[in-house]
Amino acid sequence: MPKFAANLHYLFTEVAFLERFAAAAEAGFNAVEFQVPYEWPPETLAEHLEASKLKMVLFDAPMGIWSAGDRGLAAVPGREEEFRASMEPTLRYARALQCDTVHIMAGVLADEARREEAERVYIENLRYAAAALEAAGVTAVIEPINKSFGVVQGGAAYTTQGMHGYFLNYSHQARALIERVAHSNLKLHLDCYHMQILEGNLARTLRECLPLIKHIQIAGVPGRHEPDVGEINYPYLFNLLDELGYDGWIGCEYRPRGRTRDGLGWAREFGIGC
């Protein structure tokens, strides 16, 4: 049966961020994820995880300055030292939160003519990050993200429908890069929402990518709302993942159309939102 994690930058935004841990637990979630933990002391977040009996399953390595347009540093030429320095807070938070998976964001490709250079930097940085995280028992993952959309106007911090100019966009591109990095501690983070927008053929993509997948996320298409809204047949995909033997977490990274609890009808059969 699928295991679902609540993304606290997307769900339960009707309450303050630190109150969302308890809200997720009360709704039946056993795990959470969110993009950016660095706005709070790690001890504070660890206390809320422990109090709510929740497992932290994913967060992002520092992505630069969000308000300046940064969406990661790993594939940004000229910022290699900044990227490598970012592994220190990444590891500190991973240890404090007992989180075993960290998303290494590629960043924006500002000039298509520099793609080859950006790819070289990306591969070198991913090798560095995979090795650094492995020493702490943490898996590095990369995620293809659609560049057709951007941030949600008026939305909560770090909620997007895509990232304009993002370097890594397709599952085949991610698989090729993982092969070139050639480090056993680098895996794939696959978001069904982005893959439906960019590629379609989700069942085939999941089958082909499963040996590399460490984490999955879901949302409805279009709009990035609840997974029972839109064109993706998630019940079929959940059954497929069971059939394929996927035992990792599935992050609920979607924007509720109203109050979060009111939109959890899709999850009741899994013991959430009851």
Predicted local confidence at residue 100, as pLDDT = 98
**Is 143 known to be catalytic?**
yes
Evaluated on CA atoms 189, 194, 199, 202, the torsion sign reads positive
Predicted local confidence at residue 111, as pLDDT = 79
**Token pair for 33:** 């994820």
Q: What percent of the chain has pLDDT over 70?
A: 99
- Structure confidence at residue 129 as a pLDDT band (50, 70, 90): very high
- Structure confidence at residue 161 as a pLDDT band (50, 70, 90): confident
- Structure confidence at residue 79 as a pLDDT band (50, 70, 90): very high
Residue 74 near residue 129, CB atoms below 8 Å:
yes
Q: What is the pLDDT of residues 199-226, one digit of tens each?
A: 999 999 999 999 999 999 999 999 999 9
Which residue range(s) make up the domain with 13?
3-270
**Is 253 known to be catalytic?**
yes
Q: What is the CATH number of the domain that holds 213?
A: 3.20.20.150
**Token pair for 1:** 């049966």
Identify whether 62 is preceded by a cis peptide bond (ω within 30 of 0): no
Choose among 205, 241, 202: nearest CA to 220: 202
**Residues counted in the chain:** 274
Alpha carbon distance 194, 110 (integer Å): 21
Predicted local confidence at residue 191, as pLDDT = 98
In this prediction, residues 17-37 reach a mean pLDDT of 98
Q: What percent of the chain has pLDDT over 90?
A: 87
Predicted local confidence at residue 148, as pLDDT = 83
Per the prediction, the chain carries an average pLDDT of 95
Q: What is the pLDDT of residues 30-72, one digit of tens each?
A: 999 999 999 999 999 999 999 999 999 999 999 998 888 878 9
Catalytic residue among 33, 119, 226, 253: 253
Is the pLDDT at 149 greater than 80? The verdict is no
Catalytic residue among 117, 143, 199, 208: 143
Alpha carbon distance 125, 130 (integer Å): 8
Is the pLDDT at 150 greater than 80? The verdict is no
- Inter-axis angle of helices 115-134 and 171-181, nearest 10: 60
**Token pair for 188:** 């794939």
Q: What is the pLDDT of residues 178-205, one digit of tens each?
A: 999 999 999 999 999 999 999 999 999 9
Structural domains in the chain (count)? 1
